[in-house]
Structure 1
Amino acid sequence: MVCIVQHDSRPLFFGINYPPETTGISPYTGAMASGLARRGHQVRAVVAHPHYPDWKIAPGYGQWSRREQIDGVAVTRVWHHVPRRPAPLVRALSEVIFGVRQACARWGRPTAIIAVSPALISSALVRTRALLMNRKTPFIVWVQDLYNLGMAETGQGRGMAARVIRSIESWLLRSASAVVVIHDRFADRIHDDYGVPRERIAVIRNWTHLGAFPVTDVEAVRAAYGWSDDDVVVVHTGNMGVKQGLHHVVDAGRSAHEKGESVRFVLVGNGAQRDDLVDRINSQPTTTTILPPLDDRAFADILQSADVLLVNELPGVAEMCVPSKLTSYFASGRPVLAATDELGITAQEVRNAEAGLTVPPGDATALLEGAKALVGDRDEARRLGENGKRYKETVLDETFALDRFASLLADLTAAAAGKHSAKPETMIKIGR
């Protein structure tokens, strides 16, 4: 796809997560913004100070407001309260404060506004200001997670709170000029659950935010971490939150210890559940260990030095998100073990890529046996890893995503300027 860059294009991104955060949706927001800037768009972003997944503002940040240039993007950071433990109520209050700060910031004269959800509440506040002061400016909601569905699947929202969140999410999605989602299943849910017309939904897949993986000295890396040649090393990376259900991984490590199995489970990252996981690891012997977040080189090294890469989800989580770690997992060439709902998005993605094995979530024994099964046939493990790399290169490609997003921006801004009418078939072509 070839996109003609409008030199007066001034997209404005709003999101709570942005680089230098390395986990979750931050790398995608940052890469999309900087990718558009490289193509000649005058990109701005109004975002929070880096705080995720630690839930603590990073050293050197925390000013009331701060401006910086990151990869060609003019970034404005606004302070908001970051709860140390993001329980639903305090997290909602945090988002309200953040949304007010974003709505009160200087927006300039954007030609398109992109709100990244989550955060949902702050995106809704941004939408409110846009309707009051930028009504004719195209407004895009870029959905990385389905908020209301996530609360339901993790048991964090019931009753009145759930109804309020659903109402906010429904209004935000229905009022947008276009909704960008990262998977076809999201498009189906948004159309079926919220009544958003298909022609206003575009599917643009996420991609790996890492460059080409460097050549890794696997023996040296494994030795540095104390892993022997006989150890089966299962690595999980990213956020340690409720929806990951990582206490089941600690239990799988405990089962491995009790059975004398040489299977190590390694959790890399940080998050709201980290302290609880440490307590669980220290309470009884387990082969599960925790490592802090890694820089890009160390991250690539550990992925390529593992035997198996793990996606673990809480039982009941099926439709709320597509784990961002999968794009990096596929790029590494290692087989994937997904402990997840067999009918959910994650399982479908692993099957589509033919890159691994799925086991039931919340079952420590199944998790341990799945890891052993993947390494029991080295040729099959190698084949699955190569399939994942091929899927990343053909389906989860950054250039395709940038082309599609740039084309969507061009269509919407041209339609807003009265140059032509946006055609439903064009939107579907962009999305799928």
Structure 2
Amino acid sequence: MRILVNDYAGHPFPLQLSRELGARGHSVLHTYCESVQAPRGSFEKKSEGTIEVSPIRLLKDFDKYSTVTRWLQERELGKKLAERVIRYAPDVVVSGNTPLGAQSLLLRECRQQGIGFVFWLQDVLGVGYRKALRKKIPVLGDFVGQAFERYEQWLLARSDRVVAITDDFISYMPEVVRQRDAACVIENWAPLDELPLEPKRNDWSMAQGLASTRNFIYSGTLGLKHNPSLLYALAKATATQKDVRVVVISEGIGADWLAERKREEGLSNLILLPFQPFSVMHKVLAAGEVLVALLEKDAGAFAVPSKVLTYLCAKRSLLLAVPAENLAARIVQMSGAGWAVEPNDREGFVTAGLKLLDDARGRERMAAKGRAYAEHTFDIHRITDRFEAIIDMSYPSASVGGLSEISS
């Protein structure tokens, strides 16, 4: 079968799925957007047997924080994705983590071409848009946000199948999706085979001067769903401990805010680095005693930080400032891989971090439990079995909703 897998951000685990589908004899085109600022998988190989990687570049880098510009760029991305569909002529498209403006144009093209469509629901974007707009424009923002929610549900209803990454998203599904039993849950994972265990003292940690210090490490985006002030508070609390570093590997608005705090207060223990290649991520995470993840309270219902899954592979203890009801917090608590506090509990976050740093035996137990969870859960063969079944069910039926119903 010819399959197009589209992952807007270029995460490592969808690429692993594409590679496994290719290894099973499917012809796979894997697309992602080069113009978005995000950590990515290892895309050095553009062609691997029956899989081809096709990055999409926009006229300008994607602007996450301008409502009008973002919408125009989403449409630009959608048109480019539609062009890929026309040229590649897949039997089924699996599209996840994709802005709604782009997703709608991609879905419309699939409908016009009689191509099956699987909506991979990584984030409930409509809810996220509504919360962000409500903060930005108190009254009108909520009204516009509700429109985005309805728009996303409309797209979900017109997809052949929906893959949600958590049970928490099922209640958001339109009734028509639940009635025809078109939704299922496949939790995200991390590519375990690309994250081998590494000693703390490795070429990356030595090059960064982190091989002999005790390190908190945060790696990933720092956007509107995250609170960088927690990392700042951790750096402030450990500033007098000469062997402690708070290492933040990120780019964009949150990293810029931290850079300003570092300059203002001379926080030499706050180390800011750009995104690192995924090919060295196992060495990056091995340099940490404690790996940190953040998610704001109002994002707990619509997002799951996938960096936590990568952290679990590293055999290191975890510290999360994440809502207790979020899947990431539940996984960490259930597996025993670390501690999770509420995102608005700054004092609790710092206290937990300091306790973890001083409890080497406790960290070792947590690290072992986290790795054991990853080894048991992140089985790409079993995961691909489930995706393959969903893809089979989505082909050749591409008749949900009329072609005229997908607006331009």
- Measured in 2, the distance between the counterparts of 1:191 and 1:232 equals 48
Q: Note if 1:275 corresponds to 2:253.
A: no
Contact persistence 2:110–2:116 (CA under 8 A):
no
Structure 1, residues 303-353: CA drift from partner, whole Å, max 9, x if none?
122111101122422122221111211111111100111222321121122
- Measured in 1, the distance between the counterparts of 2:25 and 2:152 equals 32
Contact persistence 1:69–1:75 (CA under 8 A):
yes
Q: Note if 1:122 corresponds to 2:102.
A: yes
Contact persistence 1:51–1:82 (CA under 8 A):
no
Partner of 1:143: 121
Partner of 2:225: 243
Structure 1, residues 70-92: CA drift from partner, whole Å, max 9, x if none?
56323444442334642141222
- Measured in 1, the distance between the counterparts of 2:111 and 2:280 equals 45
- Measured in 2, the distance between the counterparts of 1:252 and 1:408 equals 44
- Measured in 2, the distance between the counterparts of 1:203 and 1:375 equals 36
Contact persistence 1:355–1:388 (CA under 8 A):
yes
Q: Counterpart amino acid of 1:49? A: E
Partner of 1:111: 91
**Unmatched runs of 5 consecutive residues or more in structure 2:** 400-408
Q: Counterpart amino acid of 1:283? A: E
- Measured in 2, the distance between the counterparts of 1:226 and 1:41 equals 45
Partner of 2:277: 295
Partner of 2:216: 234
Q: Which of 1, 23, 30 is the matching residue for 2:15? A: 30
Partner of 1:264: 245
- Displacement of 1:153: 4.6
Partner of 2:81: 102
Q: Counterpart amino acid of 1:344? A: N
- Measured in 1, the distance between the counterparts of 2:370 and 2:31 equals 35
Q: Which of 383, 386, 396 is the matching residue for 1:401? A: 383
**Structure 1 segment 47-66 matched on structure 2, within 5 A:** 47-49=32-34, 51-53=36-38
Q: Counterpart amino acid of 2:98? A: P
Contact persistence 2:233–2:350 (CA under 8 A):
no
Root mean square deviation of aligned Cα: 3.0
- Measured in 2, the distance between the counterparts of 1:71 and 1:323 equals 31
Partner of 1:39: 24
Q: Secondary structure at the match of 2:357?
A: helix
Partner of 2:60: 82
Structure 1, residues 349-393: CA drift from partner, whole Å, max 9, x if none?
211222110122144432221112223332222111111111111
- Displacement of 1:108: 4.4
**Unmatched runs of 5 consecutive residues or more in structure 1:** 1-8, 19-25, 61-66, 418-432
Partner of 1:72: 50
Partner of 1:186: 169
Contact persistence 1:86–1:272 (CA under 8 A):
no
- Displacement of 1:251: 2.7
Q: Note if 1:163 corresponds to 2:146.
A: yes
- Displacement of 1:210: 4.9
Select between 153-162 and 343-352 the one with higher mean Cα deviation: 153-162
Structure 1, residues 241-292: CA drift from partner, whole Å, max 9, x if none?
22121232113212332x6585421111323432232112211133322122
Q: Secondary structure at the match of 2:262?
A: helix
- Measured in 2, the distance between the counterparts of 1:361 and 1:112 equals 39
Q: Counterpart amino acid of 1:103? A: A
**TM-score, normalisation: structure 2:** 0.84
Q: Counterpart amino acid of 1:324? A: S
State, as a whole percentage, how many aligned pairs show the same letter: 21
Contact persistence 1:48–1:79 (CA under 8 A):
yes
- The structure-2 alpha-carbon separation of the partners of 1:331 and 1:43, relative to structure 1 and needing over 3 Å to count, comes to same
- The structure-2 alpha-carbon separation of the partners of 1:415 and 1:165, relative to structure 1 and needing over 3 Å to count, comes to closer
- Displacement of 1:94: 0.7
- Displacement of 1:395: 1.9
- Measured in 2, the distance between the counterparts of 1:77 and 1:303 equals 27
- Displacement of 1:16: 2.7
- Displacement of 1:120: 1.9
- Displacement of 1:30: 1.8
Q: Which of 213, 225, 229 is the matching residue for 2:208? A: 225
Partner of 1:63: none
- The structure-2 alpha-carbon separation of the partners of 1:363 and 1:391, relative to structure 1 and needing over 3 Å to count, comes to same
- The structure-2 alpha-carbon separation of the partners of 1:191 and 1:397, relative to structure 1 and needing over 3 Å to count, comes to farther
Q: Secondary structure at the match of 2:245?
A: strand
